[in-house]
Amino acid sequence: MVEKTNTNPLGPGYENVPGKEMRFRDIFRDTLRAEMIRDENVFLMGEDISGGFDKKTKEPLDAWGGPFAATKGLVQEFGPKRIRDAPISEAAFTGAAVGAALTGLRPIVDLMYFDFVTVAYDQLLSNAAKSRYMFGGQTKVPMTLFARSGAGTGHAAQHSESFYSMLAHIPGLKVVVPSDPYSAKGLLAASIRDDDPVFLVNDKKLINLSGFVPDEDYTIELGKGRYLRNGNDITLVGMSYTSIVCKEAAEKLEADGISCEVIDMMSLSPFDEDILIESIKKTNNVVIVDEDTPRASMASEFAAVIADKGFDYLDSPIKRVTAPHSPVPYNRDLEKAFMPQPEDVVYSVKQVLGL
């Protein structure tokens, strides 16, 4: 798990903004709570999110908040009508959430592990994403889903996927990928307030990451990327945890006199084409880092857009650093080798620059 502290993500000029250092998991839970207070139509549903109830008194037990403690304590505050434990049927409770959204509520669905998306995929593809279109804009589906992705935590092949490209492929479904506590708060709040279905992907390796979070209420516009670091020689494009990998690689490369610009693609559908082209115009070289497997991945999609709209600005071929086309291994050494590491990015950058 990543546990180091980030610098202020707002950048120069914002050092005096009131805020504090918080863990990713804590600001995520606090944002869920704040949005439930803000709008009584917001409710949560998922497996094991409340912790159950005493059989005699019917009072909620000391809720653990699921295996990632994302909803710990919320059932005591909001009660079982707004923190609803669901049966082990992702298709069923995702479908129920679609129906609730169509009737005016704002459900939030905790799918636990990202791999379980496949069980609910038909509800996402055929109902959540298409209802507004099929009814000519007369309906809204204001639902938010979240789940934990990524390798590196010993959860083996069936609990470690990062195939967010499968979700980004669905028209009508928005997909966002926070990479630190600041973006987790802003993207989660924006997702819950949005009138379309939004899937927020949390990488398990970020759960204990600490970083600066402003005290004020704020949202981050869906569909936008951001600069994590300015540079002149090459652009590094990351998403979710690989944005952290890109920053670490940039720090290593700086010691060798290579100036890297780092872009964090906080949204995958829609995504910020403008920031990609803007940076390529400046640096003329690019390496895209994605933990997903390479075929039909977000790295491939970003590369296609750069080739289509920014080809004339490139001085070298587009380079992708991804996981291999393989399931995630359980063996710890193999799992580490499976994931893109800063050293892999450093090697690719030097290869692109001919060093």
Domain membership of residue 12 (yes or no) is no
Whether 33 and 129 share a structural domain: yes
Number of domains composing the chain: 2
User: CB–CB of 83/50 below 8 Å?
Assistant: yes
Least confident of 10-24, 271-285, 295-309, 331-345: 10-24
Is residue 147 a contact partner of residue 174, using CB atoms and an 8 Å limit? no
pTM of the model: 0.92
For 119-164, the pLDDT digits (tens) are 999 999 999 999 999 999 999 999 999 999 998 888 999 888 999 9
The burial of 87, by beta-carbon neighbours within 10 Å (0-12 exposed, 13-18 middle, 19 or more buried), is given as exposed
Mean of pLDDT over the chain: 91
- What stretches of the chain show up as alpha helix (H) in DSSP? 24-38, 74-78, 90-102, 121-122, 131-134, 165-168, 181-193, 241-254, 273-283, 298-309, 332-338, 342-352
Among residues 35, 155, 159, 335, which one is catalytic? 159
**pLDDT at residue 130, rounded to an integer:** 95
Do the domain assignments include residue 13?
Answer: no
pLDDT value, residue 13:
53
Mean pLDDT in residue range 104-120: 94
Residue 51: predicted pLDDT? 64
pLDDT tens for residues 290-306?
A: 999 999 999 999 999 99
Report yes or no on 10 lying in a domain. Answer: no
The 10s digit of each residue's pLDDT in 21-60 is 999 999 999 999 999 999 999 999 998 887 666 667 666 5
Residue after which a domain boundary falls, among 214, 249, 274 = 214
Same-domain status, 197 and 230: no
Mean pLDDT confidence for 306-311: 97
Residues 235 and 192 in one domain: no
Tell me whether strands 198-203 and 174-176 are parallel, antiparallel or unpaired: parallel
**Same domain as 299, residue 184:** no
| Cβ neighbourhood burial of 311 (10 Å; 0-12, 13-18, 19+) | exposed
Residue at 66 is within a domain: yes
Question: What CA–CA distance (Å, rounded) separates 144 from 200?
Answer: 7
Structure tokens at 217: 């209420």
202-230 pLDDT per residue, tens: 999 999 999 999 999 999 999 999 999 99
Least confident residue range of 270-274, 331-335, 349-353: 331-335
Catalytic residue (choose from 35, 90, 291, 301): 90
Whether the predicted pLDDT of 15 surpasses 80: no
- Whole-angstrom CA distances from 266 to 175, 188, 218, 225, 332 are 9, 11, 15, 5, 28
**Interatomic CA distance for residues 335 and 156, integer angstroms:** 9
Q: Are residues 158 and 266 in the same domain?
A: no
Evaluate whether residue 4 is within a structural domain.
no
**Interval 175-189: pLDDT, tens:** 999 999 999 999 999
Question: Does the annotation mark 169 as catalytic?
Answer: no
Assess contact for 225 and 28: CB atoms under 8 A. no
Q: Which residue's structure tokens are 């990928």?
A: 177
In this prediction, residue 199 has a pLDDT band, given cuts at 50, 70 and 90, of: very high
313 or 13, which is more confident: 313
Is there a domain that residue 281 lies in?
Answer: yes
Task: Count, in order, helices (H) and strands (E) of the chain.
Answer: 12, 14
What is the DSSP secondary-structure string of 118-174?
Answer: GGGHHIIIIIITTHHHHTTTS-----EEEEEE-SSSS--GGG----THHHHTSTT-E
Are 31 and 139 in the same domain? yes
- Structural domain span for residue 152: 19-214
Kindly state whether residues 180 and 54 are assigned to the same domain.
yes
85 and 115 part of one domain: yes
pLDDT at position 5 is 45
CA 10 to the chain's CA centroid:
19
**Residue 105 clears pLDDT 90, i.e. is over it:** yes
Tell me the one-letter amino acid at 256.
D
Residue 192: which of 106, 94, 125, 95 has the closest Cα? Answer: 106
